[in-house]
A and B are shown apart, each in its own frame.
Chain A
Amino acid sequence: KQEVTQIPAALSVPEGENLVLNCSFTDSAIYNLQWFRQDPGKGLTSLLLIQSSQREQTSGRLNASLDKSSGRSTLYIAASQPGDSATYLCAVPNSWGKFQFGAGTQVVVTP
Chain B
Amino acid sequence: GAVVSQHPSWVICKSGTSVKIECRSLDFQATTMFWYRQFPKQSLMLMATSNEGSKATYEQGVEKDKFLINHASLTLSTLTVTSAHPEDSSFYICSAAPYRDSTYEQYFGPGTRLTVT
Contact = CB atoms under 8 A, between A and B. Distances in A.
Interface of A: 31-32, 34, 36, 41-44, 46, 49, 89, 91, 93, 96-99, 101-104
24 contacts: A31-B102, A32-B104, A36-B108, A41-B91, A43-B6, A43-B93, A43-B110, A44-B93, A44-B108, A44-B111, A89-B43, A93-B106, A96-B103, A97-B34, A97-B102, A97-B104, A97-B106, A98-B46, A99-B46, A99-B95, A101-B44, A102-B43, A103-B43, A104-B43
Nearest to A106: B41
A34 B97 CA distance: 14
* 7 shortest interchain CB distances as A-B pairs: A97-B103, A43-B110, A43-B111, A44-B108, A31-B104, A101-B43, A93-B104
B110 A99 contact: no
Which residue among B36, B45, B104, B110 has the maximum number of chain A CB atoms within 10 Å of its CB? B104
Nearest to A104: B43
A44 B49 CA distance: 18
Contacts of B110: 42-43
B113 interface: yes
A42 B109 CA distance: 10
Contacts of B28: none
Which residue among A43, A89, A96, A101 has the maximum number of chain B CB atoms within 10 Å of its CB? A43
B32 interface: yes
A99 B34 contact: yes
A103 B104 CA distance: 20
